[in-house]
Every structure is written in C-alpha cells, then in structure tokens.
Structure 1
Amino acid sequence: MDPRGGNGCRDDDGGRIRRNSEDGARRRGLHGGPDRARLLTPGRYEPLPRKVPRECQWSGVHLSHGAENAGADEVIERAIGLLSSLVATAAPAHLSAAHYLARLPRVEQLGRLVDASRVTHAAEAENRIASPVDSIGAAGYASAKHAVAQLTSVSEFEAARRIRVGGAVSDGVSLSGAPTSPRYPEIAKAVVEGRTGIEAADILVRELDAVARRVDPVALHAAEQSLVELASGSQTAPPLRVELVRDQVKAFILAIDPDGARPAEVRARRQRKVNLGRETEDGLIPVSGLLTCEVGATLKRLLDAHSRRVAFPDIDADDAAHVPPDDRTPEQRRHDVLADVLSAAVRVKDAPELAGSSPAITVTVTAEALESENGVGYIDGQATPVSVDTIERLIDSRGLQKVTLNAAGRILSLGSAQRCFTASQRRAIVARDGGCVIPGCTTPAGWCEVHHVIPWRNGGTTHTDNGVLLCWGHHERIDSGPWRLSMPDGVPHVRGPGHPEWTPTAPARTRRPLPRTG
C-alpha cells in the first residue's frame, strides 16, 4: 500500500490505474513485489483482494517475546506516520467512480484493523486494573472503563463497548497461567482480519453471551460461524448492514435457545422504565425510558396513526384542497397526540385519584392575574410560570375553584368546584361536532377538549352554544394560530387558510340524514 500516492495508483486519461509500488516501497522501507493492483476502467470494476499484498506488509520488524514491546511500538509509530500521510494526500475527489468504489471498502477495512487493536488494548485494561503487579489502578483510575475513557478521550459507553468486544476476541489466561483461546474464535478472527466492524461484533458478543450458558456449545459455535459469515460477507454474498445483523442474531438465537423468547421478555420487563427529567428553563420536561415491546409498539402505532393526515370520505375534493399544510414537525405532532391521549385519560370516570382528587393538574392564579392580558399562574409542582392563554385552556377542560385569601395568606372562603362544561354538555357538543372542528384535523372526539369560543374571562358563557371541540394542538394555538372561531346561532364557524369567509364546520362524521317517510 502506498499511502502517499493514493494506494500507489493514479488515474490516466482513460481511467486506467497504474501502480508504482516498487519506488514507493523502496522509499518507505517496504518489501517490493509483483504489481497487485487491478486495472480499472470506467464501467468495469474488480474488487481488490482481501489479503494484504506482500508489498504492503511490514518488513524489518520481527517480533519475539523479548522484543515485542519495542517492536510493536515501532510499528505503531510508523503506522501513524503512514496513515497521516494517507489522510493528507489520498483525497478521493480526483478518483474515477470505479476507483472510488474499490477504495472505499479498503479504507473501511483499514479502520477496522485499527479498531481490532483498539479493542484488544482496551480489554487489557480489565486485566491490569486490579492486578497485584504493574497495576494501572495505582495511576488513579477507578475502573477499566474509566481508564480507557480518560486515556483515549472517548465516552464511557464507547470504552465499555471496546472492553466488552476485546474481552471476547482476545486470548486469555487460565487460573493456572496457561493461555486460552478467545471466547468467540470466529468473531475474533473476523475482527483481527478487519472483516467485521466493532459495531457488528458487539451485537454478536452481547446477544451470544446472553444465551451462552443455556444452549448447546456446538449449536452456539455453529451459530457464531454463520453469523460471522453474514456480518463479514462471503464470495457469494456481500456483508449485511449492522441493523440486519441484529435481526439475524435474534433469529438464530430463537432457533438454538430451548427457552425461546421468554428469557429476553423477562429481562426486558425488569428493565422497563419511564423517567421525567428536571424541568428546563423554558418549562420543558425531558422524557426518557425503556418500553416493553408491546407497550412501545402500541404507542408507536397510536402516535403514527394520529400524527399522519387521514382522508375521510365526507371531506370532498374542494374542502381537501383548502386544508392547510401542517407546519408541525413529526416530533411535535407526536407530542400533541400524546397530549390528547393524556387529556382523555384524566377525564375517564374510573381514573385513579391522587391525594383524593382527579389526577388532572392544578394551576394557581390570582384573580388580578386572570383578568390581565399578561397575567401568569403556576402549575402545581412546576417552577415555570404559564400564561393566561394556557390557564384559560386548562379551565376549559378541567374547571375552576375559587379560593379567597387575606393579605397574610389565610384562607377566608372556598368556593365550590365549577366544571366549565358538564358531562351532559360535553356529550351534546360531541354529538354536534364529532371531533376537532378545525378543517383537516382527524382527532376523535374522545381525545378533544371543549373550548370556550368567547373566553371565560371575557364573559363567555359555559353553554353548548359557546363550546366547540378542539384537539390539544389546535386548542393550544387557537389564539395565536391562523384559525378563528365564531358561533352564530350556536353553529361552529371557522375562518382561516383556504376559508377567507366564515364557514360552518362539517357536521359530525357519525351523523347521517334520516330517510324520508311517506
């Protein structure tokens, strides 16, 4: 390999690749040898051999146990110089398409060979951390992962992965001091030869480790052989992408594991979790966790189904043409669908109580702030203030209870809870609207909130003639978004994109005209 000369090749006018390996080898102290480059012409491509050509092998460094450290260090230093030269001079922009297609996988193999050395050196940290002789723990490192992360400037996640893969593909030492073979010899061979990357190797190691103690060793080794061939490719098939390797591993494990999928399900149930993080300065709450397969699939289907626009037969072509594009990102749409689901959940009659009351959130606001355009309130347990617009939306769906305090904070009177729309009123509005009244929105009625068209603080009445169904996303933006609502004669009308005039909303999708009799 000739790093300074772009693998010793250059493009002639006809796209032919010519190698000058002898001169390059003499300059760099490498073996000379026969010309191993293929002739590449536009439209014709023959892959380079997987075996490293002789002229690309190191010379003058014969390692033995007595000199292996000095020899290996010399190889590393020379390799760094050669690779630095390669990066600086072997720019791919000037290559023909055929040459580029030939070089790209070879450069990847080069990186994998470096990765092989990375993981074996990382795994050695596990042996050295608590060693009674020449321990790296004496240097102040608390763990092997900590040492690798600090010394290589990678994340602890990546350090742990390197240690895990390296431990599976490196030679070991028995309790008696005798050398032992790698735990997974086929994976080890593929990694050392640069045929399999660390990402794929890590998947194989983790998944095979999970079943190694309960499956037949012969079956485990056969699965390892087949999976390595799939991950690294063969003469008859190219290597699989990493995500496909993961699928194949699961299929093989199901075939050889006598317990089937049950152990994995048990492990998954133990790891299930949902975490709510610390509130940000903007009032956002980070969400993270791990959902079981069925819960995650249900949530995904739910979010996908209701965050994509759906056409209904009762919307004619003219109406469909006037439906404005949804300017929300997919992530924002999924958030709003989740908000609809949660809003519906707190209205369920049999919903569990929290401290003796509904799990619906509580907002505290003064009478003066509620009357002000710029007033704010506070959601119980949250530090970020919320605007009057948000408070009104919450009053629409959750009601209001008046508490009178004196200047010292003593409670003087407690009014009865006022639900802005009763269950009977909501059922009537659902029968009339059938779902969110904004054109093009398909959120079902059960997920919608009832909105005061004339705001409650502006004297709007809690009456069916002043209430319409809105999904969380449109309810949240109704005052600042493009849509406007009115209720002439108790019938919802909208005005907005594609509807410059006040237009009555479509009737409930469940409503059908009754047949005439007589």
Structure 2
Amino acid sequence: MALEHRLADEAAALAAALAEPLGAVGDDRLRDLIGMIGSVRRLVDAVGVRIAGELARRCDEGALAVRWGERSAAAVLAVEAGLDPAEAQDWCEVGAQVVPRLSLAGEDLSPRRPVIAEAVERAELTMRSLSRIARTVDEVECRASGRGESIAPVLLAEAVRLAPRELARLCRFAIDRADPDGVPIREEEQRRRAGVQVSHLPDGMLRWIVTMDPESAGFLTAALDARTAPRREPRFAVDDALEDEPTEGGTRTLAHRRLDALVSIASESLRHDPGNVAGTAVTMVVTVSLDALRTGLGAAEIAGIDATISAATARRLAAQAEIVPVVLGGASEPLDLGRSARLFSAAQRRALGLRDGGCAWWGCTAPPGWCEIAHVDPWARGGPTDLDNAILLCPFHHRRFDLDRWTLEVVEGERWLVPPSWVDARRTPRRAGRARPTGRVAA
C-alpha cells in the first residue's frame, strides 16, 4: 500500500480510537493508542521526506526557494510547515537521497541511496534515525569508497530495535571501522574543540560550559558517577559550616549533586595535594582489542562515554593508570561463583558493566556505577551467582524486575526481557542490555 494511503488509513483509525474519552480507556487500550501515535508519526516523517526531496530537487534545478523569497529548500520547509530549522534541514538532506532523479536527457534515474529510499517506504524509522543513518553512510563512503552502500542495510536493520542514543553509538562505530586510521585525527579535532567557558552572570553566579573530548569525559564521568550514584548519598562540603546546611525540601537534583561532587573533588584535591600532582590516575574501564592495543591503530571505548578514543590514547592511558582488564576471569579472579557465594564479586561487576553497558532495561541510560546486580533466578530459590544468571539494573528497574515478576529469555545469544501478562497482555519481549558493536556492523 502506498505511503499516503497508509497514512490516511492509520490517521483515520487513530481519530476513531480517540473518539472515546481517554479517561475511560483501559491500560492495554492506552498502550495501543501510543503505538498508533508512533506509527502515524513515522508515516508523517516518511511522506514529509518525499515532499522535502522533491522540494529540494526543484530548488536546485529551478531556484524555487529564491522565487518564494527564501534562501534554501530547508528555509521554505521551516516556514511553510512550521518546523524547527534543524529538523527541516534533516528532511531535505534525507529527501535529496531518496527521491528519483532525472538525467540531463530527462531520463528517470534511481534514487541516490536506494536502500534508504526503501526504508522510507517501509516507514519503520523516525526522521531523526533516518537522518543519522544517511549522514553516516555519506561519511563512510567519503572515508572508504564503496562501503557506504554495504553498511546502510546493517544500520537500517539495527535502527528498528535501538534507542536513538544507541543508534548514534553504532553509527560512530561504523565510521571508526571504515576508517581506523582516521580515529586519531578525529580525536585530535575533538580535543581542539574541547574546553571550559566561564561566564559571569549579572546576579554574581558563574556559569561553566564544559565541552569534553572522550578522554577528558572518561575521567570526569568516572569521578562524578562514584559520588552521585543513587543510594550512596554522600555528603559534600567545602567546610564544616556547609556540612550542617539543610538542602531545599530535603532533596537535591542530579545537577545539584554533580556540582556538589565537583566541589568535593576540588576540595579533596587541595587538601591532599602536597604541592605536586602524583599518584595513580582515576580508574576507568577502557575496552580495546588486543590487536589495536599492540599496534596502536583503531579505536577504543571508555565505559560510560559514547564517543571513541584512539588505540594510541588507550595505550597511553594503560601506561599511566591502574588497569582494569576487559577480559576478566582465570584462576586468580573467577567470574562464576556458583552457589558458593550469594553476592557478586567486583570482577563480576566489572564484567557485567562491560556486557550490559549500564542498566539493561530498554531505554534506561543509568551508567554501571548507578546499578545493582540482580539474580535472574533468585539465589534464595537456588539461582547461582554466575554471569549467566546476572543482569545489571538500576534500583528502580531492579524493583520492577523482582516485584512485577519479569523474566529473561535468551534467543540465539541475545537476551530479552519479557513482561508479565498483567503488565503487557501480549508479553512483548524487550531487548536487554545496551547496543554493543558486533560483527554485523563490519558489512
């Protein structure tokens, strides 16, 4: 069925469903309405991309935007459709890649990116995801000619089941994989753009705007997570007078707690620094392949940081910092404890942090330092303290997993969280864990 017909039918179905007062619908029906809204939104994006592509073609060939009094097709779209300029630009960029083209002789040509054009017709992805994939394909093609088209189907297939942030990480990995020699260059460019801007506000407060490269972010994120993790609730004070000062309403936002953590880090550094900077660097978990570590070529990852660092930087960090090995296990540090212990070891926590990437609940962004280790099969009912029986969850989702009686299923090596029937009558599985780059991305 054509996109426009699908849009008309699903919009009509949504309008009919909304005829009933929302307060009278059941939980399952409300879930259906949310799904219908998402489907209509994706169809609107798909139809909008095609219209934007045709608009961009006419603006390029006949200066239509200038005749309408605007500078570009994106400006026309922003004004006429009431879109944010950045969103309008995304529509035009993707549209230009998926609309049919004309040769100089007037013959019909296939779209520039036929695989992305097919994805638009399926209306499975939002505009944001399509735009990110289109730009990634262009960059991969620019850095490794001929590989852009081969990576596009892989990214499109993965995007259907990934959250936007996870898709962004996958796209960055695809670029690094296509051009491993360019990782140090991109890393150096990020360092040049990094820095701290300090503004003095009229009311006497200071505003710091911190833009960090991945390496810098790794150190600061590790330090902040250690001091702001839920349930630890440390108290920070510059002096004894502040220690007794009550917080507003007894609670503080995450932004307040991060500021407290930064002040605490600075205060502690000043109290213990004898006049020089020494000691062991802040512990970070750096994931890097053995070949990359040996050769210094390729990319590495810092746990909790989305962007990659170069293998050369990973080697430098390994020389100056306390190392937490990525490949854990062996006689000295067993990962599977069976029934010999109820609590998971520090080695297992590190392994889970690498495997799950943080809270394994779909869409949750809690980092590993904020999470707890849950037994999938409870220890009290005979469940072993092994990695296969463990899952990393933030405190909220740990409670939901235990109290609501969710289950975990493994299908072809992938783990899926399955809700109970009273939460979701269809018991639709949700993918567990963060997206990790796999062999599928090396298309």
**TM-score relative to the length of structure 1:** 0.42
More helix by share: 2
